[in-house]
Structure 1
């Protein structure tokens, strides 16, 4: 059988390729020289399979797409309390380069430039040199991508030559006691962070690493803790698309981050990571074709975050009554993924079993995985049934419940 997924991506690419709207980003001279007709999209699955269409081999600088990844690194290195002391999590409603500070002087979130520079300065050990922090960022983003990333020196120098506004933001945050270290060092490091070269496959793998709780699906490396991904995805969902974040979330429904080179990264927790690239940008700095491609994938592939599958109502595969096969056992067969809602539905099935003292077999053969709360609820259900005097046996060939 020929896998239809590549053809679906090709179809999305074709449907969006004729739109010539938008313009190249011209405030960074090197980006104004990009080929406006480049276009590529990619998907990465939870097991590390990557599908791509279009100019997938073309590399471009990551720019602001690095912000949620750097935020996750800062959280992992310094802890959430320290990071929250320096950078907030509220949507700003402002463009990416605005002066957007709370009354305390804290940048409103890590997705706008002033918050991103502040976040960059929190990565690694406070006593590290600029070179040590740069290497931590490079190696950290490389771990997200699953390969060693390089810096585009030409873009770095071009961006650095027009960085006076970013430098002013850094000095403002520093004057409020929210930026660690020297503003010039933080801005230089942040620009190097933005100048790393990636392609759409890298974006898709990076996104799936975030969507998969910090584990790179290709290399298997745990890049950052699960909780850091939860925090980064939450902020990306509400702040990642700047003053268009609400419109993006309602229409596309995939937590995402854009960059002025034309890239877009999207991470749907537990399902897919996605990347798109096309250099023409709309008024808020998002790739016009990239936005259209994400909107089509969301609609046609059923990827909207708020479109929840009805897994909890289908948790019961079946019940084999004691007299059906003559073995005297009542078998309760569960299926699917045991998160809270699914486990709760299973508990009600167990709670409603006849109290006829027939031995109960809880069959988890068809259960593919269980969250921590799912394991806890099912384990407690077994223990409580046994405490009530019932003979309960568990069939768990894949150790879903642990132990």
Structure 2
């Protein structure tokens, strides 16, 4: 059987191809002259399955979509406290290239606007890092997120540097306030090279899916960042990723996202999916016109709005019984709701039957979900019942019942 998901994505793209409103970014010559017609989309699930349609393998410069991923790298390299000393997390309500600074601290409002992104780039690697070190860090980190080797488009980089006057002005102002260290032209050139890294929508969807998993690259299985960093980055994307259209985007689409002036948009839904789209014509906010509409369609058709609550109750635990065994099967991401449901069902389970906790269909446990689940097993064992765990993929970390003992493994 052929999966129908790519057919659905093709239908979404076909329904929007006639929308030729908007225009290529005109302040970077290479982007202004780019073919405006390519249109592609890709989705990658947190289980590592990618579905693509249209011009999914066409490469384009990542531009401002680099910002959340560079922000993650800076947090890893320098620690969250150091990064927050230099860059805030509040929406600016202004265009991407405005000098939006906080009063008093003079920090850029957030890392998604240019002033904040230039500051973030300057923090990569360490205080003594040079331009080459910072650019290598960005290319290597983005490549690990995408699962393949990426490279800088030198033509786009040169074209953008030739008209980088505003970014230079922003950086010099940041330097006067003591926010930015180092040689300003070198930092701006490094940031421009970061923005000139070539990606496809397939790459973007996998990179976003790595955030959605809490930092595990879903195809290679490599842990690239810790869950707290991924959560922080996604939260900032939701608040400020779409610039002065962030509020409208969050209410209409409800998917944390980031756009780039080459025409790409990346979106992420925690524990579910990463999304990438590409179409070069931009709307008045600097976001891809057809890409924006594609995200609106996905959000509506597939129930992807982050704040949707109209799907009814989703059972998180299945219970099955045989004469000698009762099995509790968890699924998805086990947090408070699923774990509390499990404990209530365990409390209602009476008799001498053996107990099996089946986590075969679990994607991950929060720390609270893990502790609650193990506490349920511990109390059942204290009641004199044999307890066991079926965990072929090892998703339940260190199943110590709290007294140095472990449930049987199946």
Paired residues for 1:4-403 under 5 Å: 4-103=4-103, 104-307=105-308, 314-318=315-319, 320=321, 325=323, 327=324, 331=326, 333-337=328-332, 338-353=334-349, 358-359=351-352, 361-365=354-358, 368-369=361-362, 370-387=365-382, 390-398=383-391, 401=396, 402-403=398-399
Cα pair 2:381 2:387 within 8 Å, conserved: no
Distance 1:300 1:290 in 2: 15
Q: CA deviation at 1:270?
A: 1.4
Distance 2:361 2:312 in 1: 12
Q: Closer, same or farther in 2 for the Cα pair 1:53/1:139, shift >3 Å? A: same
Q: CA deviation at 1:208?
A: 1.0
Q: CA deviation at 1:312?
A: 6.8
Cα pair 1:311 1:336 within 8 Å, conserved: no
Show CA shifts across 1:152-195 (max 9, x none).
Answer: 11111111111111111111112112113222121111000001
2:12 is paired with a residue whose SS is helix
1:392 is paired with a residue whose SS is coil
Q: CA deviation at 1:386?
A: 4.6
Q: CA deviation at 1:279?
A: 0.6
Q: CA deviation at 1:228?
A: 1.4
2:236 is paired with a residue whose SS is helix
Q: Closer, same or farther in 2 for the Cα pair 1:385/1:292, shift >3 Å? A: same
Q: CA deviation at 1:339?
A: 1.7
TM-score computed with the length of structure 2 as normaliser: 0.91
Show CA shifts across 1:5-52 (max 9, x none).
Answer: 110110011011110111111011111001111111111122322221
1:121 is paired with a residue whose SS is helix
Q: What stretches of structure 2 of length at least 5 have no aligned partner?
A: 400-410
Q: Closer, same or farther in 2 for the Cα pair 1:80/1:311, shift >3 Å? A: farther
Distance 1:65 1:125 in 2: 22
TM-score computed with the length of structure 1 as normaliser: 0.92
Q: Closer, same or farther in 2 for the Cα pair 1:45/1:171, shift >3 Å? A: same
Show CA shifts across 1:27-79 (max 9, x none).
Answer: 11111001111111111122322221112222111000000000000001111
Q: What stretches of structure 1 of length at least 5 have no aligned partner?
A: none
Distance 1:275 1:161 in 2: 28
Distance 1:63 1:105 in 2: 25
Q: CA deviation at 1:216?
A: 1.7
Cα pair 2:317 2:338 within 8 Å, conserved: no
Cα pair 2:69 2:142 within 8 Å, conserved: yes
Q: CA deviation at 1:142?
A: 1.3
Distance 1:262 1:255 in 2: 17
Show CA shifts across 1:131-170 (max 9, x none).
Answer: 1111111111111111111111111111111111111111
Kindly tell me the number of residue pairs found equivalent between the two proteins. Answer: 392
Distance 2:5 2:202 in 1: 15
Distance 1:259 1:94 in 2: 16
RMSD (Å) for aligned C-alpha atoms: 1.9
Q: CA deviation at 1:267?
A: 1.1
> Which sits farther off after the overlay, 120-129 or 105-114?
120-129
Cα pair 2:268 2:275 within 8 Å, conserved: yes
Cα pair 2:343 2:373 within 8 Å, conserved: yes
2:369 is paired with a residue whose SS is helix
